[in-house]
Structure 1
Amino acid sequence: MRLQRRLELRAAGLGPLTTRELRPALIALAVAAVVAIFWLVWCWRLLGGLGLALGGSLYLALLARLVLWRGAVVRRRRGRFTAAEAEALTDAQVHRVVLALLRRDGWLVAWQPYQGRPRIVGTDCSGQRPIDVTFRPVDWKEDDETGPAPALRAAGNAVRDGTVRLLVTLGTFPRGDVLWASRQGLHLVNGNLLRRWAAGERINQLLGIVPGRRVS
């Protein structure tokens, strides 16, 4: 039970950092220290004490910006987005964002394209409940042969096997798709739900999903 909880925390990015995760930060710290020494020595030789003060201030300002930028990248990779970032999501970002959000919420997921289209599959941390996620672009049309027309139907096959099936879009779903999906047990994640999910709400609460529990 303790091991499962540890795996859930690690999948959600909340567990203690491992040596492997700390290694890049330690290397970056060492590189920053070496660069700082060479930079400050050069400034001292060029302008003396004034150069040391100006060079140190400039280096610290640049280092702070770099740390903030890197922190934002790591935060988003762990599935944590600000409200502004959630509002600014685009179709090109949705697939990577959903993968990060699922991992943040404790699902063990990976890419598995379906007929050349984006798809995410996996299970909850206990390995007892599968999940299958497909996507629909905002400008998708039912008669558009270049878009993922079969995605909704493909996601809805064998709906009674206990698999959690999601169809995700930044746009909205027509009433006909909503009614069909409700009969098939398919969860539709529209743009509003996706932004709430990205902004911090958990998919389990948004859709009433209970991980680790199979449907009989």
Structure 2
Amino acid sequence: MWPLDRSPVGTRRAWRKREEMLLRVRGQYGPEWWEVVPAFLAVLLVIAVPVACLGWLWARVGWWAALLGAAVFSYLVRAGMRQRRVLAARRQRRATYFSLDQVDTADDRGFRAIIGRLLIRDGWANVRGVRVNDAGVVHLVGVGPDGRQLGVAFERGVEQIGQGSGSRAALRPVGGVPQLPTTPARGPRPLFIVVSSGTFARERVVWAARHGVRLVDRALLQRWAAGEDLAVLLDLGLDDVRTDAS
């Protein structure tokens, strides 16, 4: 039998083996070559088969057939990527939902965080908090799929205090229209929303209609948090824009 090949202690080879063993123990060594080869062969197959088919069409039929095949292949790839994005958006939508108990027990920051996650789930971009006065009132702002700017203010329903299983936030009623950091000179009209965990009084509804502010009361908030799209709840007409963008 051949003697075991051991590296002398203190050599570079022994140090390398010791470091390799530590990485394996920690699970940080990475995949082995036999774990990478199947994925590499799959990528090679995905690239090689279409190229071979296009080459066969060029040689046996003509350049126009190869060009037509490339167009069909491009369309199929684009359709597959679009379907993948749709499925990913559906999975994200199913994963992002909240109950009214979570809303009721959240503090001010938690309430804003929940609404912010719902907006991001529904396709609104650049959602962030903006402090609007010295009293510490924070509004959420964002940009919609159609380029429309969004301003969101928050209220708590006084009649709902006491419900839920924990401490509640006491957000003050909004005295004016939600504020945006900048006033857009062009583009769609900004969307202003006031979200409440309770219900709005009649005077509040009249004020919102007069100033062009959309109200999301407790009933709409429950549906929104359960997975329905804000654009559908408020009839914003963003379906066509999202279809074109996808």
Distance 1:13 1:181, change over 3 A: farther
Q: In 1, distance between residues paired with 2:179 and 2:132?
A: 13
Q: In 2, distance between residues paired with 1:124 and 1:130?
A: 6
How many residues get paired? 138
Distance 1:156 1:208, change over 3 A: farther
Amino acid corresponding to residue 103 of structure 2 in structure 1: L
* Larger RCO, structure (CA 8 Å, separation 6 or more): 1
| TM-fit CA distance, 1:137 | 1.9
| TM-fit CA distance, 1:168 | 0.6
Counterpart of 2:178 in structure 1 is 155
| TM-fit CA distance, 1:129 | 0.5
Structure 2 gap segments, 5+ residues each = 1-77, 160-169, 242-246
Counterpart of 2:194 in structure 1 is 167
User: Structure 1 length as normaliser, TM-score?
Assistant: 0.53
Counterpart of 1:139 in structure 2 is 158
| TM-fit CA distance, 1:96 | 1.2
Q: In 1, distance between residues paired with 2:179 and 2:210?
A: 10
Q: In 1, distance between residues paired with 2:88 and 2:139?
A: 22
Counterpart of 1:114 in structure 2 is 132
Q: Which has the larger radius of gyration?
A: 2
2:100 to 60, 63, 86: 86
Q: In 1, distance between residues paired with 2:115 and 2:190?
A: 17
Contact kept in structure 2, 1:155 and 1:166, CA below 8 Å: yes
Ranges of 4+ aligned residues in structure 1 off by more than 6 Å: none
Q: In 2, distance between residues paired with 1:156 and 1:75?
A: 28
Amino acid corresponding to residue 123 of structure 2 in structure 1: G
Matched residue SS, 1:194: helix
Contact kept in structure 2, 1:87 and 1:195, CA below 8 Å: no
Matched residue SS, 1:197: helix
Distance 1:86 1:189, change over 3 A: same
Matched residue SS, 1:134: strand
User: Structure 2 length as normaliser, TM-score?
Assistant: 0.47
Q: In 1, distance between residues paired with 2:152 and 2:102?
A: 21
Counterpart of 1:130 in structure 2 is 149
Contact kept in structure 2, 1:86 and 1:199, CA below 8 Å: no
The equivalences for 1:175-190 within 5 A come to: 175-190=202-217
The equivalences for 1:4-153 within 5 A come to: 14=89, 79-81=96-98, 85-90=99-104, 91-92=106-107, 93-108=110-125, 109-115=127-133, 116-126=136-146, 128-139=147-158, 148-149=172-173, 151-153=174-176
**RMSD of aligned C-alpha atoms?**
3.6
Give the % identical residues: 29
Structure 1 gap segments, 5+ residues each = 17-73, 141-145
